Amino acid sequence: MAMDIRPTTLPDVRLIAPARNKDARGFLSEIYKKNELEAAGLFLDFVQENQLMSERPGTVRGLHFQAPPSAQDKLVRVARGRIFDVALDLRRSSSGFGRHVSVELSADNGYQLLIPKGFAHGFCTLEPHTEVVYKATDYYSPERSHGVLWNDPALGIEWPLDATSAVMSDADRARPRLCELPVFFD
């Protein structure tokens, strides 16, 4: 089985489509293969894996990131349900600064999004009881955890919901806009 590793409109963000071998019982998918990532030039040392569940559609989590020296690469997938997933480039010296990639990840399509250091990440659930699993290359660090306002108009993200119906934390509602964010990534 091979993984299809594709660039996105922001080349450092990759969409990964693991092959699925199907039969009468269901399917088998090798969702992580270090050797195939390395063959694609992606040398990552994942140290933590997280799973979260959102009860309601329209739950927004993000846009989150960790500042250096605890910055994280993330490999995100959906174990149950569907999400509208977003990666936002925060690297000031990048030609992609302030631009984003959005994709639908679901348990059905099996896609994964590889989000490198220097990007904020967030998503909106599209189905009830959606479960998201992601690997990270650094441990969670509350003192280095930051975010950007998910619906900052300057970002141009076309979220699949109205801001008044979003289910989210008070912390995420109070995040700074991109223009107010200190420089974390040069």
Q: What is the pLDDT of residues 73-124, one digit of tens each?
A: 999 999 999 999 999 999 999 999 999 999 999 999 999 999 999 999 999 9
Gap between the Cα atoms of 127 and 80, Å rounded: 9
Q: Can 100 be counted among the known catalytic residues?
A: no
Burial 154-173 (b: 16+ CB within 10 A, else e): ebebebebeeeebebeeebe
Gap between the Cα atoms of 15 and 19, Å rounded: 13
Phi/psi of residue 5, each to 5°?
A: -105, 115
pLDDT of residue 64: 98
Domains of the chain: 46-180 (2.60.120.10)
What region does 70 belong to: left with phi over 0, alpha with psi -120 to 50, or beta? alpha
Selecting among 111, 134, 139, 146, the annotated active-site residue is: 134
Q: List the chain pLDDT tens, one digit each, 186 residues.
A: 688 999 999 989 999 999 889 999 999 999 999 999 999 999 999 999 999 999 999 999 999 999 999 999 999 999 999 999 999 999 999 999 999 999 999 999 999 999 999 999 999 999 999 999 999 999 999 999 999 999 999 999 999 999 999 999 999 999 999 999 999 998
Q: Can 140 be counted among the known catalytic residues?
A: no
pLDDT of residue 11: 85
Cis preceding linkage at 63, omega within 30:
yes
pLDDT of residue 122: 98
**Arithmetic mean of pLDDT over the chain:** 96
Selecting among 32, 64, 129, 139, the annotated active-site residue is: 64
